[in-house]
Structure 1
Amino acid sequence: MINKVQILSVTPPSNLDAYIRIANLWPMLSIEEEQSLTKQLRYDGDLNAAKTLILSHLRFVIYIARNYSGYGLLQADLIQEGNIGLMKAVRRFNPEIGVRLVSFAVHWIKSEIHEYVLRNWRIVKIATTKSQRKLFFNLRKTKKRLGWFNEEEIEIVARELGVSSRDVREMESRMSAQDITFNPFPEEDIDINNHNSIQYLKDKTSNFANGVEQDNWKKHASYKLSNALLRLDERSRDIINARWLDKNKKNTLQKLANNYGISAERVRQLEKNAMKKLKIAIEN
């Protein structure tokens, strides 16, 4: 015969009704029983005490999980996540603080369910900040009617939840949006006539965009440099070409001085002035 612990170890959707019935069969603990079990767990590491504490509180997880049934997620999954929160609460509970375990566990149960709902309600994460999370879980029950909020309702909600009107409008817009599939016609072959969004997903292994940018920059830089060189006098242009743009050999100052019949220092001055002019021309 399958015992209660075996049945309660999993909660597949097909056995959810049976799971709920068995969970409700476990008796609720008195204050004295709970105190004794929590002390055995905390001070002696008694895992059997932990098991009893968890099983006797599963009905509370089921009750809390029902409040999140409006998000289109399986009730069994919500209960499973709540059970994780319950186990975390049992592990962290201090019997000396003077409150019942269920009061302490509510936060952990809701926290795990909240995280699960936020991860799975939409493909794109809808709430990341504290104010967005608060809005997400309060906006539905705050709404008195279907349709969009009017300005008065936005102000009321913002005031009640302690957020800005802008936050309310943005969250309402997010919750009203729908996920769109990348491939709306998966049964059809993708060809040039089917412009599915999935075809335009970024290939992170490709550097095509970087290559195009580099080519464009090189062309742009070359164009600017050519125009800037045309603004120089012939001697200065020849000096820059001989000193910096000749791919075969870089001419020395003395060689250029001999060619022009001037001193090497004068060639250096002409080169320096030409470089300043080029810089100004390229930057403009």
Structure 2
Amino acid sequence: MLTIDLKGKTALVTGVSNGVGQGVAKILAKAGCNISGCGRSAENSEGAKAFIDNIEKEGTQAIYTAHDITSIKAQEKLIQKTIATFGSIDILVSNAGVNVFEGAEKCSEEQWQFNMELNLKSHWQLSKLCKPYLEKSGKGVILIMTSNHSNYTIPGCFPYNVAKTAIKGLVQSLAIEWGPKIRAIGIAPGFIDTKGNQKWFDSFPDAAKERQRTIDAHPVKRIGTSEEIGALCAFLASDAAAFISGTTYLIDGGRSALMQD
């Protein structure tokens, strides 16, 4: 049986106060990582406290920083705090993002700019700032969260799908320019059971009916969990995945394999 061992490593994970980021951080801690997490929620918020509790229950250490991930100065402070606490950054999970679903005609320039700053540019900026520490690690790993919308999308999801598609190119460039000391990999989740996706279901007249319709569209007959995304992250960050770089993995319960009608 393959055991994922990340003991002694430090992972910087963005967007940990809820959703996918919180599940990823929990599984990385279970594999032995110390976690430096950040999010938009205040440091005394329920989400931040839940993140810290989840990590400490796994027997590793955690710190949390509240800041705007699109700010370079805030990113610099986050990295400085991480290094001051743990002394290294071995794994970057650049996860933070938000749905910007406007449609190609209705989307304003302001909405386009916000989407690109958060859902694309922030991943590049943070990766650059972490690069010296990841190189020093010798086996640095960058995991960038994209979406199934980078492969297939639906009407009304512009400009979110544009940024998420571009991340595949970012991952390729980082892998070929920063290897061999750093591997870069994209992760493209489909429907994951988070508050954000529940908000999507709640936008329909019958949320329960829409949720069931979505479940039925998956060959596995359910939607995913943030911990399952975390399990993939843990594997990709480990030595077991040392030959994987420059590619993006779709994890969507088989939904993209089924033609929709």
TM-score by structure 1 length? 0.21
**Which has the larger Rg?**
1
TM-score by structure 2 length? 0.22
| Higher normalized helix content (fraction of residues) | 1
